């Protein structure tokens, strides 16, 4: 109360001022247009061109000319998966793509598997992107600086956490110049890598035919097919991130469906052009592995040094590779945008702690951001920041989500084939998408499992188990709370007519109750006060905070509706208490921080009723461990700590329901 504390001033300086929930243009100010969605959400997919094509090319061994077939398959796959997710955007414009699709079309168990896989994939996106970017940065620095790379990665993760706590649009806007530097440097290079060898295409075609014939004689068609399939599968990292736009639809500007589909088209065209062009560039320029360098570095070095000489060419190469490194940091942003959104949707369904659905003053899912950052640090600790190990763990999870989403959409089109227009096209698109993604998933698990892929599956499996344990706990707690709600059906009848309402005496003893709406818990606290302090209080004031979370934040109108609904609920308390001979009134506010709202309401109530005692109910458990503290808020104790420090008496009434 009073002047803001040092902590509050520091928070305002670092994270920015609170958003105005009632601003009718609030969504316009914080949402992303298609261009910024392409940057913030598409950077993950586009950055995979820094390592995905290389993995596919190297998997061919000595038959590198066959990479042309891999390039064609890569471009085809990108457009199929992107087109499939464009269908998902139309059917599920609310976002959380993989989780919502699997939950609604295949059942909640499939949804939890898809959502859990997606969350871990986003965690790995953050870690591998920052680690790969750090590798690129430190490749230009002296070897003696190597020991500091781990701490550099940790610093970059912390920086991204800070940017995202400030807000989605702010974080994307800051990273826009990096994204554009990458695109403006790589597009001309890809064009040059392919274009200046256009006259040699007949020779290349002849070489492909010769190499293919030789490979068939050596290994047979089955062996050649196995090599191509392995190369195609090893380049699966190229497709990760395509789903990010579908998963993060709530961050897009209205009309969301059109914005999402436009951003998806931007990403599909740019990713297919760069990834496919780089693979062709490897073939046409006869790129060979060089120790200590990525294949992109070798390719761009050949092109630029040959074009401008060793001096200027090497400087430009350094700039291009620096742009690659910087884009990988931008790609980590996708994990901080998509991961909290999936966690929020799972929290709304009680598969994750409910606090993951809460929004901060800046209207971001702050607990989801903390979780993603913390898990990224855990992965960093497990792998030591090794990109080689992270690549092995990567890409498995996203194809679990891909496969479930595509199969779910196939089920959707088939069930609605009599009502949905264009169902045959949708079924065909998602059917091909399912066959591709499921095949890649099976082959990726088979190839990468013994090399460390089992770690990813173990972590994901543990996350799935934890989700069901959390859901079971919440259901058990809700069952006990429903017994309290039955109290509302057994309330004693009113004894005082409305015409004889008690007069207001502000100096009379007053009980100020903090409630979360009209429910059995609030009524139980009222009866506990009357029973514990018989004849003491003549006034009862009910305070309530309407908390905006990701499920209720749909615009200024929805915020106002929440406030009106909360006022109507509190009026039930007022009418009941007045009907039993007490004076009563209710006050409420809507916001994102429940403690700050209660603090503000309490300040006003204490000024109006100087002889007041504050009360709140708190669920108590037989064994109060970390698990219970994580899943249930302790608003009553936090409010008590703040009010008592301000000199206001407060009593917490225990509610034993478990």
What are the E-state strand segments in 582-629?
A: 583-591, 612-620
Point out which residues pair with 620 in neighbouring strands.
656
Bridge pairing between strands 650-656 and 612-620: parallel
Contacts of 255 (CB under 8 A, 6+ apart): none
CA 167 to chain CA centroid, nearest Å = 13
**152 lies in a domain?**
yes
**Residues 545/588, Cβ–Cβ less than 8 Å:** yes
| 199 and 323 inside one domain | yes
C-alpha distances in Å from residue 652, one per residue of 40, 218, 553, 613, 639: 45, 80, 30, 11, 10
For the range 138-147, what are the long-range contacts, defined as Cβ-Cβ under 8 Å and sequence gap of 24 or more?
Answer: 139/292, 139/293, 139/321, 140/318, 140/321, 140/322
Q: For residue 632, what is the domain's CATH number?
A: 3.40.50.620
Long-range Cβ contacts of 557-562 (<8 Å, 24+ apart): 559/21, 559/22, 559/590, 560/22, 562/590
Locate the DSSP E strands across 466-530: 510-514
Task: Tell whether 129 and 167 lie within a shared domain.
Answer: yes
Q: How far apart are CA 657 and CA 590, in angstroms?
A: 28
Q: Could you give phi then psi for residue 508, rounded to 5 degrees? A: -75, 155
* Whole-number Cα distances in Å, 289 to 141, 163, 417: 21, 37, 51
pLDDT at residue number 21? 45
146 and 260 fall within a common domain: yes
Q: How far is CA 625 from the centre of its chain?
A: 28
CATH code of the domain containing 66: 1.20.1740.10
pLDDT of residue 133: 80
CA distance 140 to 136: 7
| Terminal alpha carbon distance of the chain | 35
- 447 Cβ partners below 8 Å, 6+ apart? 230, 233, 234
Closest to 651 measured CA to CA, from 528, 564, 549, 484: 528
Q: What is residue 469's predicted lDDT score, i.e. its pLDDT?
A: 92
Q: Is residue 18 part of a domain?
A: no
- Residue after which a domain boundary falls, among 417, 437, 472: 472
Q: What is the pLDDT of residues 558-587, one digit of tens each?
A: 677 888 899 999 999 998 898 888 999 999
Distance CA 435, CA 432 (A): 5
pLDDT given at position 410: 92
Same domain, 80 and 216: yes
- In the chain, the number of structural domains is 2
Which of 417, 441, 472 represents a domain boundary (last residue)? 472
Same domain? For 400 and 546 the reply is no
Residue 20 included in any domain = no
* Rounded CA separation 252/31 (Å): 5
Among residues 382, 346, 351, 384, the alpha carbon closest in space to that of 456 is found at 382
Question: Is 478 a domain residue?
Answer: no
C-alpha distances in Å from residue 561, one per residue of 222, 250, 486, 518, 558 = 64, 19, 26, 16, 5
Single out the residue of 408, 415, 442 nearest to residue 96, CA to CA: 408
Q: Tell me if 146 sits within 8 A of 126, measured CB to CB.
A: no
Strand partners, 619: 655
| 513 in Cβ contact with 540 (< 8 Å) | yes
Contact 252, 415 (CB under 8 A): no
Distance CA 236, CA 252 (A): 27
Q: What are the backbone dihedrals phi and psi of residue 460, each rounded to the nearest 5 degrees, phi first?
A: -65, -40
Q: Look at the chain and count its residues.
A: 658
Residues 6+ apart with CB under 8 A from 90: 257, 261
Q: Is residue 327 part of a domain?
A: yes
Q: Are residues 456 and 587 in the same domain?
A: no
Please give the biggest Cα pair distance in the chain.
102
pLDDT in tens, 194-225: 888 777 777 777 777 787 787 777 778 788 78
Burial of 528 by CB count in 10 Å (0-12 exposed, 13-18 middle, 19+ buried)? middle
Q: Residue 624 burial by CB count (10 A; 0-12/13-18/19+): exposed, middle or buried?
A: exposed
Same domain, 465 and 496: no
User: How many other CB atoms are there within 10 angstroms of residue 600's CB atom?
Assistant: 17
pLDDT for the residue 191 = 92
480, part of any domain: no
The span from the CA of 141 to the CA of 128, in Å, is: 20
Residue in 287, 271, 224 with CA at minimum distance from that of residue 74: 271
Burial bucket for residue 449 (CB in 10 Å: 0-12, 13-18, 19+): middle
In a domain, 14, yes or no: no
Residues 538 and 457 in one domain: no
Distance, in Å, from the CA atom of 598 to the CA atom of 646, rounded to the nearest integer, reads: 13
Same domain? For 187 and 60 the reply is yes
pLDDT at 584: 93
| Residue 609: per-residue pLDDT | 95
Q: Do 330 and 191 share a structural domain? A: yes
Place of tokens 């990458």: 182
**Adjacent-strand bridge partners of 613:** 511
Which residues partner with 650 through β-bridges? 614
Provide the pLDDT for residue 116: 93
Residues 592, 459 share a domain:
no
How many C-beta atoms surround the C-beta of residue 214 within 10 A? 12
Closest CA to 396 of 436, 454, 334: 454
Q: Which domain holds residue 618?
A: 492-656
Q: Is residue 418 part of a domain?
A: yes
Q: Are residues 468 and 548 in the same domain?
A: no
Structure tokens at 360: 């901060």
pLDDT for the residue numbered 318 = 83
Domain boundary (439, 472, 505) is at: 472
- 10-residue mean pLDDT profile of the chain (658 residues): values are 55 53 46 72 78 84 83 91 86 73 90 91 87 75 77 88 71 72 90 82 75 77 82 80 75 80 89 91 85 80 85 85 82 80 86 82 76 91 77 78 90 88 88 90 85 86 94 83 69 63 87 90 88 91 82 62 88 89 91 82 93 89 67 79 89 77
64, 188, 307 from 200: Cα distances, Å: 16, 19, 18
């Amino acid at each position: 109360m009073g002047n803001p504390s040092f902590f509050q001033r520091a928070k305002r300086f670092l994270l920015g001022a609170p958003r105005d929930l009632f601003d009718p243009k609030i969504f316009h100010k914080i949402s992303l247009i298609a261009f910024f969605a392409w940057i913030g959400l598409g950077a993950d997919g586009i950055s995979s061109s820094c390592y995905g094509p290389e993995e596919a090319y190297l998997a061919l061994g000595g038959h590198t000319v066959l990479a042309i077939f891999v390039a064609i398959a890569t471009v085809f796959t990108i457009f199929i998966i992107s087109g499939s997710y464009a269908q998902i955007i139309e059917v599920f414009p609310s976002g959380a793509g993989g989780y919502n699709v699997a939950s609604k079309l295949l059942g909640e168990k499939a949804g939890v598997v898809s959502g859990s896989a997606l969350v871990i994939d986003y965690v790995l996106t953050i870690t591998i992107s920052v680690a790969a970017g750090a590798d690129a940065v430190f490749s230009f620095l002296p070897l003696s600086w190597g020991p500091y790379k781990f701490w550099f990665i940790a610093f970059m993760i912390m920086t991204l956490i800070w940017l995202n706590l400030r807000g989605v649009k702010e974080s994307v806007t800051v990273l826009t110049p990096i994204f554009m530097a990458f695109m403006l440097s790589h597009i001309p290079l890809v064009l040059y890598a392919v274009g200046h060898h256009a006259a040699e295409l007949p020779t290349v075609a002849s070489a492909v035919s010769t190499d293919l014939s030789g490979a068939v004689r050596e290994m047979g068609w089955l062996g050649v097919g196995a090599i191509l399939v392995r190369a195609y599968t090893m380049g699966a990292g190229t497709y990760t991130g395509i789903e990010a736009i579908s998963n993060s639809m709530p961050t897009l500007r209205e009309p969301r469906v059109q914005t999402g589909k436009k951003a998806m088209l931007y990403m599909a065209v740019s990713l297919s052009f760069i990834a496919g062009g780089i693979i062709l560039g490897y073939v046409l320029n006869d790129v060979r592995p060089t120790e200590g360098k990525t294949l992109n570095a070798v390719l761009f070095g050949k092109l630029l040094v040959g074009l401008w000489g060793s001096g200027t060419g090497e400087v430009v190469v350094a700039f291009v590779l620096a742009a690659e490194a910087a884009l990988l940091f931008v790609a980590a942003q996708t994990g901080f945008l998509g991961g909290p959104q999936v966690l929020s949707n799972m929290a709304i369904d009680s598969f994750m702690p409910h606090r993951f659905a809460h929004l901060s003053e800046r209207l971001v899912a702050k607990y989801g951001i903390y979780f993603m950052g913390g898990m990224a640090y855990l992965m960093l600790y497990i792998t030591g920041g090794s990109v080689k190990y992270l690549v092995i763990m990567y890409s498995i999870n996203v194809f679990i989500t891909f496969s479930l989403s595509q199969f779910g959409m196939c089920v959707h089109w088939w069930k609605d084939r009599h009502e949905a227009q264009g169902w045959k096209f949708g079924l065909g698109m998602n059917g091909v998408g399912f066959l591709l993604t499921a095949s890649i998933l099976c082959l990726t698990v088979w190839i990468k499992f013994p090399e460390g892929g089992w770690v990813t599956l173990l972590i994901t499996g543990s996350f799935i188990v934890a989700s069901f344990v959390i859901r079971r706990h919440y259901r058990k707690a809700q069952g006990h709370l429903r017994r309290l709600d039955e109290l509302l059906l057994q309330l004693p009848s009113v004894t005082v007519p409305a015409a004889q309402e008690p007069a207001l005496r502000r100096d009379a003893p007053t009980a100020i109750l903090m409630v979360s709406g009209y429910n059995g818990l609030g009524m139980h606290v009222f009866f506990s006060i009357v029973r514990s302090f018989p004849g003491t209080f003549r006034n009862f004031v009910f305070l309530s905070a309407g908390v905006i979370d990701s499920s209720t934040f749909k615009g200024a109108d929805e915020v106002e509706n929440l406030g009106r609904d909360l006022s109507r609920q509190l009026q039930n308390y007022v009418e009941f208490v007045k009907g039993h001979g007490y004076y009563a009134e209710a006050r409420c506010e809507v916001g994102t921080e429940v403690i700050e709202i209660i603090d503000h309401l309490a300040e006003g109530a204490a000024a109006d009723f100087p002889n007041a005692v504050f009360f709140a109910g708190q669920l108590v458990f037989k064994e109060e461990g970390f698990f219970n503290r994580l899943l249930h808020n302790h608003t009553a104790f936090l409010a008590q700590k703040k009010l008592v420090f301000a000199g206001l008496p407060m009593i917490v009434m225990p509610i034993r329901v478990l």
